[in-house]
């Protein structure tokens, strides 16, 4: 990215736009606006924003259709900003490729933090970083090695694959289905109990207190998020 990062705000509520735009500009962002699904898709294609803040309730369709369309050709971070709190809505948005989900009403400080995290993670993915640092835990992807204070943390191959997938998506909620498909394959997307067992085993090895996890966090009914501790 060069210059000010570009944020596209997709929302048909003028009050939200009036509230958000000054805060984003003050935070050093260039801001573009779209008030409909059609405008959003065209703006993403034409202006290539660095992050999209997306409402789901749009006058010409569901914001989830924006995610579906855009994910066919772009990996731009998409942060859903919505009053919809149903678990099924959130799961569908994440499964379609949303990077984050913030409920309305929201605090502007929280949203700004989510935007910064999304931009940072996109940059890290683009750089193809060979390792990740999560607090005092270092993950060497090429060497399939995890260390804490230069001491090896012994993981099985599947435990390592699970931790690596979560770490590459640090700060982002990933659904049970996304994890299972990535680590075990598409035939295992319904094996959520199997995943819980592996997460429990992994926490025993990488958390300081497995009963009070600070690294691998549960998003109840949806999936998991590795805490953004970078």
Tokens 């924003």 sit at which residue? Answer: 49
- The residues, any chain, with a CB within 8 Å of residue 33's CB and separated by 6 or more, are 8, 9, 10, 11, 17, 21
Which residue ranges make up each domain of the chain?
6-126, 129-226
Over residues 145-178, the pLDDT tens digits come to: 999 988 999 999 999 999 999 988 888 889 999 9
Q: State which of 50-59, 125-134, 184-193 shows the largest mean pLDDT.
A: 50-59
pLDDT of residue 27: 93
Mean pLDDT of the chain: 89
2.30.42.10, 1.20.120.10, 1.10.10.10, 3.40.190.10: CATH of 129-226: 1.10.10.10
> Between 9 and 83, where is the model more confident?
9
- Quote the pLDDT of residue 129: 65
Span 192-230, pLDDT tens digits: 998 999 999 999 999 999 999 999 999 998 999 988 665
- At the top level of CATH, the class of 6-126 is alpha beta
Query: What pLDDT sits at residue 16?
Result: 86
Q: Do 29 and 53 meet the contact criterion of CB atoms below 8 Å apart?
A: no
Q: Is the pLDDT of residue 1 over 60?
A: no
| % of residues, the chain, pLDDT over 90 | 54
């Amino acid at each position: 990215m060069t210059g000010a990062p570009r944020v596209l705000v997709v929302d048909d509520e003028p009050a939200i736009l009036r509230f958000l735009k000054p805060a984003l500009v003050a935070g050093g962002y260039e801001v573009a606006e779209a008030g409909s699904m059609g405008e959003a898709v065209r703006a993403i294609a034409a202006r290539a924003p660095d992050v999209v803040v997306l409402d789901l309730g749009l006058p010409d369709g569901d914001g989830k259709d924006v995610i579906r369309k855009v994910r066919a050709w772009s990996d731009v971070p998409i942060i859903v900003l919505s009053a919809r709190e149903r678990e099924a809505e959130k799961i569908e948005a994440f499964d379609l490729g949303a990077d984050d989900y913030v409920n309305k009403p929201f605090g502007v400080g929280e949203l700004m933090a989510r935007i910064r995290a999304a931009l940072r993670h996109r940059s890290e993915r683009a750089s193809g970083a060979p390792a990740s640092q999560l607090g005092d835990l270092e993950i060497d992807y090429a060497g399939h090695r995890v260390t804490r204070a230069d001491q090896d943390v012994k993981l099985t191959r599947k435990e390592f694959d699970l931790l690596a997938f979560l770490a590459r998506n640090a700060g982002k909620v990933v659904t049970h289905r996304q994890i299972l498909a990535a680590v075990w394959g598409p035939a295992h997307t319904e094996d959520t109990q199997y995943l819980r067992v592996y997460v429990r085993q992994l926490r025993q090895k990488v958390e300081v207190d497995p009963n009070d996890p600070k690294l691998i966090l549960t998003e109840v009914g949806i999936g998991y998020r590795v805490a953004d501790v970078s």
